[in-house]
Amino acid sequence: MQTPHLFCDECGAANTRDALSCFACGHSLPSPPSADAPAAQNLPSVEEEKCDDALYLQFTLSPGSPTSVRLIRQERPAPAVELLNGRYEILEKVGTGGFGAVYRARDTANKNRMVAIKAIELDTLSASQAIEATDTFNRELHLLSSLDHARLPAIYEHFIDATHWYLVMDFIDGEPLDEYLKQIEEPCLPLRDVLDIGLQLCDVLNYLHQLHPPVIFRDVKPANIMRTPGGRIYLIDFGIARRFKPGQKRDTLPLGSPGFAAPEQYGKAQTTARTDIYGLGATLYFLLTGYDPATTPFHLPPILPLCPTLPHSLAELLTSMLALDPASRPPDVAIIQRELLNYMPVAYRVTARSFQIRSAQLHASGAGQPIAPAPPQPAVGQKITRMRRTGQFIRRLFGASLLIVSL
């Protein structure tokens, strides 16, 4: 069916179908659609259909002139962004677990810095769960607020509303180690990568264990270890961490993850630094072999058949870390760290040692004690003497004539 009139786009007046210009304003008229043209040509475009802007008819009344009718589109204003606590713009949910979820957010009050917000949803919990969730929240808040280490997330603030507890901390752009393995579609990691991860974990665990009183993490496992794209490791989720209490026979509650939790975490004894050593050993075992310790807790297969290229001394170290009797495990993480360093390239060992010295200076006691001053640098004369002695040693070693330039 053909349209009986052509309407002017300028003034809206109705014209005959064969008119070339508007009789009212003289504006050129579009050519009428052909009868043979497909009907789809007269349909609105996809962009027009998706547009949510409001459409209005505008009437213009002028004395002595024909009435002007125009179709206009009024753009709707962008909806206001709702900010959590008046400053945090929630961008996406990045994880769930326990009693709530973790969100990535933008801190609009601090240069749009990315933060992670852990939200505990109290309105979905029973009375007993709410008590446990509150205890977990307070434990993590108090512990992390007192810690300062490069491989731990920093706490910025906490707040509550009618149904939630919120904890704002560093956003770590990465994924947990168990998710990382799924992402790369590999059952296990190369020895070099596992050693690197182990050394970084030793660094942060050694810091925690040297505090006064020591902090026992109690949940070392791949899901609580974040890895950035650059390979940097962070220890997260202090929900069941606790401070060591001298003289206490056992922990108040048996907490931990099956396969990675030491036997003493099941109410047999108080957890100590050797408890974290067990969790570290189980984590390294999993990363090297791909065998999940939760499959057969406390009865893991020997590691060498699963990882034949592993040096025997490293296999013995991991076996001792996984001993069921805490007294049979290495006494502290520093011993494990030194053993792992022996299998890394020399350049890595030098860099790691420098980092350890600097970290020890920054966190000398974990209780605000002054940092020890740097050792005095040798005088220029002493440097030259050392250079000459080094040159003499090289000449004797290689029988070559070398020129040493004194500064």
Instruction: Report residue 332 as tokens.
Output: 């502290």
Helix (H, G, I), strand (E, B) or coil at 278: helix
Give the residue among 260, 399, 280 at the shortest CA–CA distance from 340.
280
CB 106 within 8 A of CB 89: yes
CB 146 within 8 A of CB 207: no
Give the residue among 275, 116, 266, 155 at the shortest CA–CA distance from 208.
275
CB 242 within 8 A of CB 215: yes
Helix (H, G, I), strand (E, B) or coil at 74: strand
Instruction: Report residue 119 as tokens.
Output: 């939200």
Give kind and range of the element (H or E) at residue 384: helix 380-398
- Beta strand residue intervals within 155-250, DSSP E: 155-160, 164-170, 175-176, 215-216, 225-227, 233-235, 242-243
Which residues are catalytic, by number? 219
